[in-house]
Amino acid sequence: MPDYGQIQVGAGTLDARLVLGLAFILFLLGALGVLVRRNPIVILVCIELMLNAANLTLITFAAQLHNLEGQLFALMTMTVAAAEAVVGLAILVDIFRVRDVEDVDELSELKG
Amino acid sequence: MLQTLALALLLLPAAGALVLALTALTIPRTAVRLIGPGVVWLGFVCTLILLVDSLQNNTAHDYTYWTWIKSGAFNLPVNLLVDRLSIFMCLVVTGVGGLIVTYAVGYMDHEGDASYARFFCYMDLFIFSMLLLVLAGNFVFLIMGWAMVGLSSYLLIGFYYWRYSAVAAARKAFVMNVIGDIGLILATFAIFVQYHQTTFAGVFGALPKADGFWIEVIGFLLLVGAVAKSAQLPLHTWLPDAMEGPTPVSALIHAATMVTAGVYLIGRMHPIYDVAFWSHSTAALLGAVTALVAATIGIVQTDIKRVLAYSTMSQIGYMFLGVGLGAYAAGFFHLLAHAFFKALLFMGAGNVIHSMRDEQDMRKFGGLWKDMRVTSICFLIGSLALVGIFPLVGFFSKEVILGDAFSKPDQGGFPQVMWAVGFLTAILTGFYTGRMWWMAFWREAAPDRPVAQPHEAPPVMMVPVIVLTVLTVIGGGLQINAGFDVGWRKVEDFLAPVLGVLPWAPRSLEWIPTAATLLLGGVAFLLAYNIYVNHTWRPWSAAVPWLQRLLERKYYADELYDALFVRTMDGAANAGDKVLEEPVLDGLPTDIGAATRAGAGTLALTQSGFFRTYILVFVGGAAIALILILLVRATS
């Protein structure tokens, strides 16, 4: 069995595959949520989920490769995610001011 | 000092035109009355100062202000040529022009405020263009003035732009004038290619001493310009139609100044024409033929302004005859005389038209001798000057041309033939002028006269007419030799530094043709009385109706040009429309537009507006990309 690498977690070690598998499942959940759910708030939450899945892979590889750049990228992603959440929520609040939206499919005025 | 003055002379009317153009809608009428003629009179004062200097110092100035273009061999300065000839022309343009613009203050008074300002804007623009034409010291500025004169003529003929006939006449005049412009431009190209000079001084210094191919080409091309501007055959048809413009315009542009630009051009280019024998003689020939043809047409016209238009063509034909034979000073003396008496005649006719509620048909006039005595006297004096009756200015100027032509030594007798044509024209001139005078002024009032009690023109119109009448009476005193070798010749002496002296002496027998011209012209004038007033004679037209029809249709020149050029162009344009315009130039962009629109419609279907569809495509695309990457990894 090939060595997929161990990562240092506290005092013990952990197989990197487990963490990456978790990240994969999280991302899949997020992506499926964006695709199937219609509530705009839930879609935003799912986007956050995908971003955090990506973050998890970043810090996993950072730990595995002993390279701090991955952690830095994770920090940057969090910043961007925060900004994105703010903008996304602000847009939603504005939309809700005009009308009550329960389904993003109702927001299709910009179709060609 | 004088250098600045020459520039001021040129730019004053331009400034006036600019001010009037920018403020036409708001400026009060009094200000227009001041600015319009004011700038022209200021220009006249400038010209007088230049004249005094020229008389005292007898020097020609070529004022160079700055270099405009310098590119390789092409060197174009901004220079004004202030010599005796251009001062002479400036005197006519600003002096007679000033009188006419002043006259227009009264004549155009019934126009609305905006039209009033527009009229004087155009008039000042014309004066500026004409001054640029005569003051230009190089060919490029000459072309500019030449073209701008055509433009202002176009604007003024089409002044009543709501009348279809006026617009058509303006367009006709413009197109004909552009033919002349092209001749002048091509001549300038030929000159530059041959002599690599743009200034008059440079070109004249580089001219060859003997006749040759290129000098003849240049001479003929310049002649095209001169003929078009001066309404000589075969580019004459625009001038009678140009009478659609207001009467002061006819007086200023189509009698006194612009149409004499061709004479000026030949005079200014005399170093070229002195060498180019054939084009020079062609100028004389065209002038003589035009003089005769226009006089015959003038006999049958019934519109008083058209009679004057044809007589203008005829008299300019005399000037071409003079300058074409090398009697330059004679041509320019007649130019001056013609400016006096023809402006007088046009403004006299303007007084009549003004009081007749814009009626121009002479058959509906009559009885004006009783009702408009002052205008009638002035008009009579102008008419007699046109016929060439002693001692009015027309007698002296016409006799100088005819006398010089008669006396010019030539193996083939060409000048003598030209003289004979001029002699015949002088008799016809007497007849048609007499017809106009007796018909419009002397005989009993026509039953359908538009106004029963016409009133005399207001003082602002009367004063310029009277001033010109005085000039017409005393102007002959400038040059009293009338082709003889006696008496002074002030015009010829004045212009001699530029144009040189007449290279041949008058003949001793010259008094015979002079007396014959005077006598027969006067008799023809009086004979018209018998036909048109007391009807003792049958009208000549009753005997030869076909001739009358031929003359009334102006020798079918309009019809001929219509068939030759207008129809041909129309046909070519229509064919081009069907073959090229509609399927290719118009069709192709339309097709491209339609295809783009259809493609965009199809593509727009993908923009469903459903947010989740986009995400699906996005995620699916990412998944496919991922799978591809993994596959590539696995196989390599």
pLDDT of residue B45: 92
Q: How far is CA B298 from CA B314, B335, B520, in A?
A: 9, 20, 18
- Min distance A35 CA to chain B CA atoms (Å): 6
pLDDT of residue A3: 59
Reported as a single tens digit per residue, the pLDDT across A29-82 is 999 998 888 888 898 899 999 999 999 999 988 888 888 888 999 999 999 999
pLDDT of residue B251: 83
Q: Which residue of A has its CA nearest to B603?
A: A112
> Considering the domain boundaries, does residue A112 fall inside one?
no
Cβ(B336)–Cβ(B397) below 8 Å: yes
Q: How many domains does chain B have?
A: 2
SS percent in chain A: helix, strand, coil, step 5? 70, 5, 20
Question: Which residues in chain B have Cβ-Cβ distances shorter than 8 Å to A35?
Answer: 612, 615-616, 619
Question: Which residues in chain B have Cβ-Cβ distances shorter than 8 Å to A110?
Answer: 607, 609
| Gap between the Cα atoms of B107 and B218, Å rounded | 42
> A31 and B612: CB-CB below 8 Å?
no
For residue B615, give the nearest of A34, A107, A111 by CB distance.
A34
User: Considering just the CA atoms, what is the radius of gyration of chain B in Å?
Assistant: 30
Question: Which residues in chain B have Cβ-Cβ distances shorter than 8 Å to A109?
Answer: 609
> Considering the domain boundaries, does residue B574 fall inside one?
yes
- Min distance B621 CA to chain A CA atoms (Å): 13
Looking at residues A83-88, what average pLDDT do you find?
92
> A110 and B607: CB-CB below 8 Å?
yes
Chain A interface test: which of B605, B607, B612 (most A C-beta within 10 Å): B612
> Considering the domain boundaries, does residue A77 fall inside one?
yes
> Considering the domain boundaries, does residue A16 fall inside one?
yes
> A109 and B609: CB-CB below 8 Å?
yes
> Considering the domain boundaries, does residue B572 fall inside one?
yes
> Do residues B625 and B591 share a domain?
no
> Considering the domain boundaries, does residue A104 fall inside one?
no
> Considering the domain boundaries, does residue B136 fall inside one?
no
pLDDT of residue B4: 86
CATH number of A31's domain: 1.10.287.3510
- Min distance A112 CA to chain B CA atoms (Å): 4
> Considering the domain boundaries, does residue B497 fall inside one?
no
Residue with tokens 């203008």, as numbered in its chain: B312
> A104 and B609: CB-CB below 8 Å?
no
Question: What does the mean pLDDT of chain B come to?
Answer: 85
Question: Which residues in chain A have Cβ-Cβ distances shorter than 8 Å to B602?
Answer: none
Q: How far is CA B636 from CA B115, B361, B624, in A?
A: 88, 103, 18
For residue A35, give the nearest of B604, B606, B616 by CB distance.
B616
For residue B609, give the nearest of A31, A36, A110 by CB distance.
A110
> B610 and A105: CB-CB below 8 Å?
yes
Q: What is the ipTM of this complex?
A: 0.81
Residues of chain B with pLDDT under 70: 482-485, 508, 536-542
Residue with tokens 């092209």, as numbered in its chain: B182
> Considering the domain boundaries, does residue B79 fall inside one?
no
Question: Which residues in chain B have Cβ-Cβ distances shorter than 8 Å to A108?
Answer: 608-611
Q: How many domains does chain A have?
A: 1
- Min distance A28 CA to chain B CA atoms (Å): 11
- Min distance A104 CA to chain B CA atoms (Å): 7
Would you call A32 an interface residue with chain B, using a CB distance cutoff of 8 Å? no
The parent domain of residue B558 ranges over 553-605
Would you call A108 an interface residue with chain B, using a CB distance cutoff of 8 Å? yes
pLDDT of residue A21: 92
- What pTM was computed for the model? 0.75
> Do residues B580 and B611 share a domain?
no
> A108 and B605: CB-CB below 8 Å?
no
pLDDT of residue A1: 42
Would you call A106 an interface residue with chain B, using a CB distance cutoff of 8 Å? no
pLDDT of residue B298: 85
> A112 and B612: CB-CB below 8 Å?
no
Query: Per residue in B58-89, is it b (16+ CB within 10 Å) or e — as a string?
Result: eebbebeeeeeeeeeeebbbbbbbbbbbbbbb
| Gap between the Cα atoms of B522 and B542, Å rounded | 24
pLDDT of residue B358: 76
Q: Which residue of A has its CA nearest to B617?
A: A35
Q: Which residue of B has its CA nearest to A112?
A: B604
Reported as a single tens digit per residue, the pLDDT across B161-179 is 888 888 888 888 898 899 9
> Considering the domain boundaries, does residue B166 fall inside one?
no
Q: What is the DSSP letter of B577?
A: I
pLDDT of residue B264: 92
Work out the angle at residue B288's Cα, subtended by the Cα atoms of residues B285 and B291, and round it to the nearest 5 degrees: 145
Query: Which residues numbered 65-104 in A keep a CB inside 8 Å of some CB on B?
Result: 104
The parent domain of residue A71 ranges over 6-99
Measured from the Cβ of residue A87, the count of other Cβ atoms closer than 10 Å reads 10
CB-based contacts of B7, cutoff 8 Å, min separation 6: B63, B65, B80
